[in-house]
């Protein structure tokens, strides 16, 4: 049970007293679509040679654990290498020789590209309006339910296999889509060619790599820390093995790291990097060093440092670094490191404590400021938030032992290891320093973006792999504007990321500011120089694919994102038990049941662990395709006027029969669609709020 020193500050009151100065720098709450995502992709595990390329530079470098991945970032696992990326409560795991990248990552969409290799995905929770898409050279794979999935792309990019262990998937290519059900493997050959084909059989046998993925899942499922934090706190699964939970009278349950160096302090063992759109971001060296540095607060209690996670919420908000910076020109000169500001002075900071608000330097709405504080802080009482003067706050950690870390400007901006460059400053000098804000007023460089102090030689994927086009069902947002095009504008306001208006201007007016995304639509517009090749079944007896409308551009996080969470607060839904997405009613809303299963040669073929090998799979049970149809965002007339590919040469009877049914589920607006029941995974649990 958490005991607060004073009554909890309500979210409504905090919104009412936010600093007036924010109005000029932050868009109003109604424009919260400009807010950065509340989640990122954490690089949570690395083994072997794993290379990384940020989306806004062309350099490949050695990947570092705990790096926050976002739109445009790429990973390559070399021979005998593995990697794991966590996004909220979902995990993406890469086998050797795999090329992976984020095409889109925000609060509602996870869209990744896999141009070669193997990807295992564990989806623990999928909200009503969330989508998860894996784009490959042969087809776009939409994951429709919580479950376990595997996607493999061969070295030529010509063949993609999709295995569903638990859940349900849909594969789209050449203007058609088909479903993949539990314990099935689908193959798409030549999805981007002139005669693509598909096949569906019993699921392939699991191998050693999948066994490793399952062992990683068990760490999540068995983590005791889920009793104290939300499962959407990225990195919670690493806390059990590296620390202990303790009850305190003032802060409730806190987590204490088990083994740290003498003189250890938060935000000292790691380095800083420039990560858009958040700006200066802390990247910790510890294998557990993600959750405690991007959520909650730190406090010095009982003779050591403890992490206070805050109240358990359904969707906590990620922050780049929850610290306050101190300094000033005269203070930097006094400690012997030169002038301050964005020039060559020293940079100093300390961790924020409970009840102390965090005001982002990046452009956000007032609503975001409330959410990043109220949802992640145990207590936010006794705080004067009626003006911008950050010196009015009595920071409890400022005087704690070894709390303030001081480094040179070069150590900070060049992403050097902080612990090796700490400047020892007398205590009286530290007390003279004034708080200057919540971000360093330092202009980033190319090294800051790469996150490496020097050019580190990294293994690069073959160019044929990085430039290989993937098929997309949902048109992703534009690629990030290159850092070289933003560097001059960033120097005008040191330490502050560019706002959306400036980014749009750079994208429009700067040559080479729009890198090629290497994607092509799964369902191209008709009327081209030659007709789109049709996706055909590889053999008789397969369920026919259905036609899908042309791929359309998805509006940038849509203004409708802001009001959506308001009517439905985060805490009530239980994780893993949310209803299925309303925009796909046809999967289970259809009153007509699926046809009875066709007799299988061996009933044991679908048993886990006793599945036939790739070459000896039994034919899957045919399913009625319209009941699996996924509505598309295109307007109603487009569906009717579109030249239907029904007269396809392969199996004409099923095509004609499916045509009229195809239209019916599309006619109901999303708001009127009946809710569907989603099968919750047995290993997911509701959030437990401490009593």
Which residues are 247's β-sheet partners? 253
Cα separation, 378 vs 310, whole angstroms: 4
Give which of 146, 103, 450 is closest to 274, Cα–Cα: 450
Q: Could you check whether the bond before residue 362 is cis, i.e. omega within 30 degrees of 0?
A: no
- The dihedral region occupied by 425, where left means phi > 0, alpha psi between -120 and 50, and beta the remainder, is beta
The yes-or-no verdict on residue 579 having pLDDT over 50 is: no
Bridge partners of residue 151, in order along the sequence? 119, 162
Q: Is residue 423 part of a domain?
A: yes
The mean-pLDDT minimum among 48-52, 260-264, 415-419 falls in 260-264
Partnered with residue 92 across adjacent β-strands are: 85, 121
Average of per-residue pLDDT across 410-423: 95
Under 8 Å CB-to-CB from 328, ≥6 apart: which residues? 340, 433, 434, 436
Q: Which residues pair with 141 in a beta bridge?
A: 134, 171
In this predicted structure, what is the pLDDT of residue 68? 97
CA pseudo-torsion sign 673, 675, 680, 684? positive
- Residue 58 inside a domain? The answer is yes
Q: Is the same domain home to 529 and 604?
A: yes
Cα(160)–Cα(168) distance, integer angstroms: 17
Render pLDDT for 264-293 as a digit per residue (tens, 0 to 9). 999 999 999 999 999 999 999 999 999 999
Reading phi first (left if > 0) and then psi (alpha if -120 to 50, else beta), residue 153 is in beta
Domain count across the chain: 2
Q: What is the mean pLDDT of residues 72-85?
A: 96
Same domain, residue pair 207 and 308: no
Give the span between the Cα atoms of 224 and 219, in whole angstroms: 10
CA 177 to CA 160: how far, in whole Å? 14
What percent of the chain has a predicted confidence (pLDDT) above 90?
Answer: 52
Same structural domain, 552 and 615: yes
Arithmetic mean of pLDDT, 436-440: 88
196/247 same-domain check:
no
Cβ neighbors of 180 (< 8 A, separation 6 or more) are: 162, 163, 164, 168, 169, 170, 171, 186, 200
Q: Convert 21-79 into a string of H (helix), E (strand) and C (coil).
A: CHHHHCCCHHHHHHCCCCCCEEEEEEECCEEEECCCCCCCEECCCCCEECCCCEEEECC
Query: Which 3 state secondary structure label does DSSP give 172?
Result: strand
Indicate if 18 and 49 belong to the same structural domain. Answer: no
* Same domain, yes or no: 246 and 198: no
Checking if the pLDDT of 686 tops 60, the result is no
Confidence category of residue 573, pLDDT binned at 50, 70, 90: very low
The Cβ of residue 613 has, within 10 Å, a number of other Cβ atoms equal to 9
pLDDT grade for 556, boundaries at 50, 70 and 90: very low
Residue 410 confidence class, pLDDT cut points 50, 70, 90: very high
Give CA–CA dist 646/650, Å, rounded.
9
Instruction: Return the pLDDT at 682.
Output: 40
- Residue 580: the pLDDT is 41
> For residues 446 and 594, what is the distance between their CA atoms, to the nearest angstrom?
57
pLDDT of residue 487 exceeding 60: yes
| Residue 519 within any structural domain of the chain | no
How many other C-beta atoms lie within 10 A of the C-beta of residue 477? Answer: 19
Q: Which residues, at least 6 apart from 607, have a Cβ–Cβ distance to it below 8 Å?
A: none
Q: Based on the domain organization, do 49 and 198 belong to the same domain?
A: yes
Please tell me the predicted confidence (pLDDT) of residue 636. Answer: 40
| 422 & 328 share domain | yes
Which pLDDT does position 673 carry in this prediction? Answer: 44
Say yes or no: 588 and 657 in one domain. Answer: yes
Quick one: average pLDDT of 117-138?
Answer: 95
Instruction: Give the model's pLDDT for residue 154.
Output: 96
Distance linking the first and last C-alpha atoms of the chain: 5
pLDDT per residue as tens digits for the range 374-400: 765 554 443 333 444 676 788 999 989
Counting Cα atoms < 13 Å in the Cβ hemisphere of 36 gives 23
In this prediction, residues 439-467 reach a mean pLDDT of: 89
Cβ contact 9:310 at 8 Å: no
pLDDT of amino acid 314: 82
- Are residue 251 and residue 393 in the same domain, yes or no? yes
Q: Which of 386, 337, 273 is nearest to 19 (CA)?
A: 386
322 lies in the same domain as 445: yes
- pLDDT (tens digit, 9 = 90+) per residue, 130-188? 999 999 999 999 999 999 999 999 999 999 999 999 999 999 999 999 999 999 999 99
As given in the structure block, the two tokens for residue 60 are 């490949």
Using the predicted structure, report yes or no on whether residue 549 has a pLDDT greater than 60: yes
Between CA 560 and CA 326 the distance in angstroms is 39
In the listed set 399, 420, 450, which residue is the last one of a domain according to the structure? 450
- The secondary structure of residue 636, as a DSSP letter, is H
Report if residue 277 sits inside a domain. yes
How far is 142 from 168, CA to CA, in rounded Å? Answer: 9
Q: How far apart are CA 262 and CA 265, in angstroms?
A: 9
Rounded CA separation 96/76 (Å): 8
Task: Identify the domain containing residue 366 by its residue range.
Answer: 11-34+223-450
450, 481, 514 - which closes a domain: 450
Least confident of 158-162, 218-222, 292-296: 218-222
Residue pLDDT, tens place only, 638-685: 433 444 444 444 444 443 333 344 344 444 444 444 444 444 444 443
Domain end, chosen from 401, 427, 450, is at: 450
Assigned domain for 683 exists: no
The answer on 267 and 202 residing in a single domain is no
pLDDT (average), residues 114-119: 98
Q: Is 261 exposed, middle or buried (0-12, 13-18, 19+ CB in 10 A)?
A: exposed
State the DSSP H helix or E strand holding residue 177, giving kind and residue range, or none if neither: strand 176-180
The residue assigned the tokens 């956000």 is: 364
Look at residues 185, 194, 117 and name the one whose alpha carbon lies nearest to residue 157.
117
Asked whether the beta carbons of 174 and 533 are under 8 A apart, the reply is yes
For 227-253, the pLDDT digits (tens) are 999 999 999 999 999 999 999 998 899
Select from 448, 420, 427, 424 the least CA-distant residue to 342: 448
| Residue 322 near residue 361, CB atoms below 8 Å | no
Q: Supply 365's token pair.
A: 């709405």
Distance (Å, whole) CA 540 – CA 503: 52
**Listed residue (336, 84, 342, 391) closest to 214, CA to CA:** 84
- Say how far apart CA 576 and CA 685 lie, in whole Å: 7
Cis peptide before 598 (omega within 30 of 0): no
Q: Quick check: is 496 in a domain?
A: no
Distance CA 274, CA 242 (A): 28
- What CATH number did the domain enclosing 666 receive? 2.60.120.1440
CB 143, CB 110: distance < 8 Å: no
Q: Smallest Cα–Cα separation from 112: which of 145, 90, 139, 135? A: 135
Say which residue, 439 or 280, is predicted with more confidence.
Answer: 280
Q: Tell me what the mean pLDDT of segment 431-448 comes to.
A: 89
Strands 98-105 and 279-284, by their bridges, are unpaired
Q: What residues contact 68, with CB distance under 8 A and at least 6 apart? A: 40, 41, 42, 275, 278, 281, 283, 294, 318, 320
Asked whether residue 258 carries a pLDDT value surpassing 60, the answer given is yes
Predicted pLDDT of residue 430 = 84
> 440, 448 in Cβ contact below 8 A?
no
Give the number of C-alpha atoms closer than 13 A to the C-alpha of residue 526, restricted to the C-beta side: 12
In this model, does residue 64 exceed pLDDT 70? Answer: yes
Strands, sheet with 252-257, edge to edge from the N-terminal-most edge strand: 243-248, 252-257, 304-308, 297-301
Please tell me the predicted confidence (pLDDT) of residue 1: 35
If pLDDT is split at 50, 70 and 90, which confidence band does 73 have? Answer: very high
Question: Is 501 a member of any domain?
Answer: no
Residue 586 lies in a domain: yes
Q: Across the chain, what does the average pLDDT equal?
A: 77
The CA distance from 296 to 305, in Å, is 13
Residue 86, SS3 per DSSP = strand
């Amino acid at each position: 049970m958490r005991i607060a020193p004073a009554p909890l500050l309500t979210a409504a009151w905090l919104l009412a007293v936010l600093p007036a100065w924010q109005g000029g720098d932050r868009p109003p709450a109604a424009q919260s679509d400009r807010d950065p995502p509340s989640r990122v992709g954490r690089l949570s595990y690395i083994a072997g040679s794993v290379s990384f390329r940020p989306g806004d530079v062309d350099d490949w470098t050695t990947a570092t654990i705990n790096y926050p991945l976002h739109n445009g970032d790429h990973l390559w696992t070399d021979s005998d290498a593995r990697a794991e990326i966590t996004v909220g409560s979902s995990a993406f795991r890469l086998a050797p020789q795999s090329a992976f990248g984020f095409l889109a990552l925000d609060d509602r969409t996870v869209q990744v590209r896999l141009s070669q290799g193997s990807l295992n995905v564990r989806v623990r929770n999928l909200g009503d309006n969330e989508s998860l898409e894996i784009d490959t050279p042969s087809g776009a794979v939409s994951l429709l339910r919580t479950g376990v999935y595997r996607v493999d792309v061969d070295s030529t990019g010509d063949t993609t296999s999709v295995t569903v262990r638990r859940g349900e998937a849909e594969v789209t290519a050449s203007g058609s889509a088909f479903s993949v059900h539990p314990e099935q493997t689908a193959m798409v050959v030549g999805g981007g060619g002139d005669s693509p084909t598909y096949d569906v059989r019993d699921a392939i046998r699991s191998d050693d790599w999948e066994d490793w993925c399952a062992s990683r899942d068990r760490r999540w499922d068995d983590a005791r820390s889920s009793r104290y934090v939300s499962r959407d706190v990225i990195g919670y699964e690493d806390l059990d093995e590296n620390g202990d939970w303790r009850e305190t009278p003032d802060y409730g349950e806190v987590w204490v790291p088990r083994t740290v160096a003498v003189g250890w302090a938060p935000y000292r063992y790691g380095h800083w990097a420039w990560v858009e759109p958040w700006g200066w971001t802390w990247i910790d060296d510890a294998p557990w060093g993600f959750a405690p540095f991007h959520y909650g607060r730190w406090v010095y209690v009982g003779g050591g440092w403890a992490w206070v996670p805050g109240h358990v919420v359904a969707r906590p908000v990620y922050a780049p670094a929850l610290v306050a910076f101190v300094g000033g020109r005269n203070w930097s000169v006094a400690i012997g490191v030169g002038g301050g500001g964005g020039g060559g002075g020293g940079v100093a900071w300390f961790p924020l404590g409970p009840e102390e608000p965090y005001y982002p330097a990046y452009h956000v709405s007032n609503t975001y400021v409330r959410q990043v504080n109220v949802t992640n802080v145990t207590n936010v009482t006794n705080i004067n938030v009626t003006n911008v003067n950050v010196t009015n706050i009595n920071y409890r950690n400022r005087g704690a032992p070894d709390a303030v870390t001081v480094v040179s400007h070069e150590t900070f901006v060049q992403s050097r290891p902080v612990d090796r460059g700490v400047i020892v400053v007398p205590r009286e000098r530290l007390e003279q320093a004034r708080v200057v804000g919540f971000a360093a007023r330092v202009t980033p460089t190319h090294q800051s973006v790469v996150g490496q102090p020097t050019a580190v030689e990294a293994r690069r994927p073959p160019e044929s792999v990085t430039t290989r086009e993937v098929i997309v069902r949902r048109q992703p947002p534009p690629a990030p504007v290159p850092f070289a095009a933003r560097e001059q504008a960033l120097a005008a306001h040191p330490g502050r990321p560019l706002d959306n208006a400036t980014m749009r201007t750079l994208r429009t007016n700067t040559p080479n500011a729009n890198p090629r995304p290497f994607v092509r639509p799964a369902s191209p517009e008709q009327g081209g120089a030659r007709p789109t090749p049709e996706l055909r079944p590889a053999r008789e007896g397969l369920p026919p694919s259905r036609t899908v409308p042309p791929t359309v551009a998805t509006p940038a996080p849509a203004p409708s994102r802001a009001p959506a969470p308001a009517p439905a607060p985060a805490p009530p839904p239980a994780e893993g038990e949310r209803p299925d997405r309303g925009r796909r009613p046809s999967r289970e809303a259809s009153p007509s049941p699926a046809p009875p299963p066709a007799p299988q040669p061996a009933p044991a073929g679908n048993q886990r662990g006793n599945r036939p090998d790739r070459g000896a799979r039994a034919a899957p049970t045919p399913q009625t395709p319209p009941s699996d149809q996924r509505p598309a965002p295109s307007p109603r007339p487009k569906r009717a006027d579109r030249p239907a590919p029904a007269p396809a040469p392969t199996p004409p009877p099923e095509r004609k029969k499916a045509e009229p049914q195809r239209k019916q589920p599309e006619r109901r607006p999303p708001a009127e669609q009946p809710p569907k029941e989603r099968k919750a995974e047995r290993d997911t649990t509701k959030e437990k709020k401490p009593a």
